DNA sequence: CGACTCCTTGACAGCGTTCAACAGTAGTGG
DNA sequence: CCACTACTGTTGAACGCTGTCAAGGAGTCG
């Protein structure tokens, strides 16, 4: 990681507000694939992504992996940890994050009284909400429904600007949806053949949604 | 629901401490199968279970169901809601719960400053932790691993006292694990045949764990 | 251009579902 | 207390969705 210094800026979302509580943030750049924080390590920091993409996941002993969430620019993660991290976080592509000690937030009396606590509660609640919908997806949706839901979810993210550029590969998508690479690939082909989306310039990670209505129906 | 009046009592767990903040709780009894709170309704209350069992779940439009969690005596749920409930909660068996308005907790200044906020954060964090492990289970474990994990999870609950008496039926277990009734039943039979557990007196909901080590190995 | 990784696609196998029959359990009323 | 009924759980057989394995194509980077 390369150390830098950050300054809060940009639009005021709920997560950005946290950065205005007079808390010092340090900025880092993580290379593609590098680990930001590891499962079962003491959790010291919370992170906000400036640029890039991060995946958080859990592993089974034999290597099976479940990605809990993808974090894109603006997202905050690590707030919800207890004493130790419950999952691993690493950079999918080159990523700039800024971080701050968690105890600064939780032990600082002025923070507790301020709206910072509301923001933290809001962030954690959002996480929980996402986790609960994702359980429904993992437990009860078909592969086609899962992939349609994934595409629509990514479409709602700030990345979207006409063309959707996915930072993650098929392996990551599969581990997020509880599928295999092959099934993800097949489902995307089906969606393409049905006219719900198209790929750009033969690059499989650049997608244009052609029929959000059809996708929403397929999501179930 | 039948109205009653409650008084805090019993051992002091993290969730019990919340009941000692001078907050008024009302007590209710819910009959088997009755809905306690519905998805998308405004969320007004948080609940603690005194006796019985509650399931919280989400539904797809065609009736497919995913149970997020089972709540047993002592458990608190509903703290984590935002403006509206994100899931439905109903009683699996006859259940006594006590409830209190959520805004009393969140808007009361004395509560905010006190340890009540720590307890709330702790409860929500526990929920999130459970949701994340459950995603790993739903997305990446086999049917046998899922059922073994379920049995071990229930074994850790206060219900356990030599014999484990499951309040929920096979349908609920299936919808919790992302399986069907048949698969759950088959997996339990396999565990029984392998000597990992036994049923009591032909009652399929009373289980004795014979080999927790073997179950733990099968879990993953 | 060459080597590597990533993605797609096909053939096949297998796990879990579906459907159905049966058995065991519980609930109800005579 | 028993008979009747409805519900719940078990088990078998066949199907199908998704996984597995492999080959080949496309993209990327040196």
Asked if residue A118 and residue A31 are part of one domain, the reply reads yes
Nearest-angstrom CA–CA distance, A42 and A103: 12
The three-class DSSP label of residue A38 is coil
Largest CA distance in chain B: 57
Same domain, B30 and B93: yes
Cβ of B114 near strand D (under 7 Å)? The reply is no
Residues A97, A22: one domain? Answer: yes
**Structure token digits, residue A128:** 């929980």
Which residue in B86, B125, B129 is closest to A129 by CB distance?
B86
Please write the tens of the pLDDT for every residue from A54-105.
999 999 999 999 999 999 999 999 988 778 999 999 999 999 999 988 876 6
* Assigned domain for A2 exists: no
- Higher pLDDT pick, B109 / B144: B144
Pairs of CB atoms within 8 A across A/B: 102
Distance, Å, B190 CA → C22 C1'? 20
Mean pLDDT of chain A: 87
B108 band by pLDDT with thresholds 50, 70 and 90: low
CA of B66 to C1' of D10 (A): 23
pLDDT of residue B103: 74
pLDDT for residue B150: 98
Q: Is strand C within 7 Å of residue A198 (CB)?
A: no
Does nucleic acid strand C have an atom less than 7 angstroms from the CB of A23?
no
Domain final residue pick, A109, A137, A165: A137
Tell whether A120 is covered by a domain: yes
**Mean pLDDT of all residues in B30-36:** 91
Which CATH number goes with the domain that contains B184? Answer: 1.10.10.10
Measured between CB atoms, which of B60, B81, B178 is closest to A138?
A: B178
Residue B1, in any domain of the structure: no
A137 CA, D11 C1': Å apart: 29
B66 & B156 share domain: no
Whether residues B220 and A177 touch (CB distance < 8 A) is answered with: no
pLDDT for the residue A121 = 86
Q: How far is CA A134 from CA A68, A146, B132, in A?
A: 8, 10, 10
Domain end marker among A117, A137, A157:
A137
Burial class (CB in 10 A: 0-12, 13-18, 19+), B37: buried
B89 located within any domain: yes
A77 vs A71: CA distance, rounded Å: 8
- Are residues A132 and B86, on separate chains, in Cβ contact within 8 Å? yes
Indicate if A115 and A132 belong to the same structural domain: yes
Predicted confidence (pLDDT) per residue in A163-188, tens digit: 899 999 999 999 999 999 999 999 99
pLDDT at B172: 98
Using an 8 Å Cβ cutoff, are B215 and B191 in contact?
Answer: yes
Task: Please say which residue of B137, B167, B194 terminates a domain.
Answer: B137
What value does the mean pLDDT take over residues A28-33? 91
Beta bridge partners of A101: A45
pLDDT band, very low/low/confident/very high, at B15 (cuts 50, 70, 90): low
What pLDDT is recorded for position A107? 63
CA atoms within 13 A on the CB side of B189: 6
Q: Are B53 and B90 part of one and the same domain?
A: yes
Q: Is residue B27 part of a domain?
A: yes
Q: Is residue B11 part of a domain?
A: yes
Looking at residue A218, its pLDDT comes to: 96
A1 located within any domain: no
Subunit contact A140:B62, Cβ cutoff 8 A: no
Total number of residues shown for chain B: 220
Residue B2 lies in a domain: no
- For residue B7, the model assigns a pLDDT of 39
Please indicate, yes or no, whether residues B119 and B182 belong to a single structural domain of this protein. Answer: no
Which residues of chain B between 161 and 200 are close to nucleic strand D, CB under 7 A? 169-171, 181-182, 184-186, 188-189, 199
Q: Are residues B112 and B172 in the same domain?
A: no
Residues A76 and A123 in one domain: yes
Looking at the structure, tell me whether residues B116 and B42 fall in a common domain: yes
Range of the structural domain that residue B187 is part of: 141-219
Domain count, chain A: 2
Digit-coded pLDDT (tens) for A15-26:
666 666 567 889
Q: Per-residue pLDDT for A159 more than 80?
A: no
Q: What is the rounded distance in angstroms from the CA atom of residue A122 to the CA atom of residue A100?
A: 18
Query: B121 and B67, same structural domain?
Result: yes
**Cross-strand pairs, A99:** A26, A47
Q: Return the CATH number at B58.
A: 2.60.120.10
Are A76 and A105 within 8 A, CB to CB?
no
> Do A18 and A109 have their domain in common?
yes
């Amino acid at each position: 990681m390369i150390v830098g210094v950050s300054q809060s800026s940009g639009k005021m979302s709920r997560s950005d507000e946290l950065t205005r509580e007079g808390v010092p943030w340090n900025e880092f750049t993580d290379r593609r694939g590098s680990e930001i924080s590891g499962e079962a390590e003491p959790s010291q920091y919370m992170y906000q992504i400036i640029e890039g993409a991060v995946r958080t996941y859990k592993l089974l002993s034999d290597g099976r992996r479940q990605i809990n969430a993808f974090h894109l620019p603006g997202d905050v993660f690590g707030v919800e940890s207890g004493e130790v991290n419950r999952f691993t976080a690493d950079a999918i592509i080159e990523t700039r994050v800024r971080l701050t000690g968690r105890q600064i937030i939780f032990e600082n009396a002025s923070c507790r009284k301020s709206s910072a606590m509301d923001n933290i509660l809001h962030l954690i609640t959002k996480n929980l909400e996402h986790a609960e919908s994702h359980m429904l997806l993992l437990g009860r949706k078909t592969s086609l429904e899962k992939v349609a839901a994934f595409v629509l979810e990514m479409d709602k993210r700030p990345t979207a600007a006409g063309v959707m550029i996915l930072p993650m590969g098929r392996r990551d998508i599969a581990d997020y949806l509880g599928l295999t690479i092959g099934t993800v690939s097949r489902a995307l082909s089906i969606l393409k053949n049905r006219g719900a989306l198209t790929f750009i310039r033969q690059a499989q990670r650049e997608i244009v949604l052609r029929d959000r209505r059809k996708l929403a129906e397929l999501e179930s």
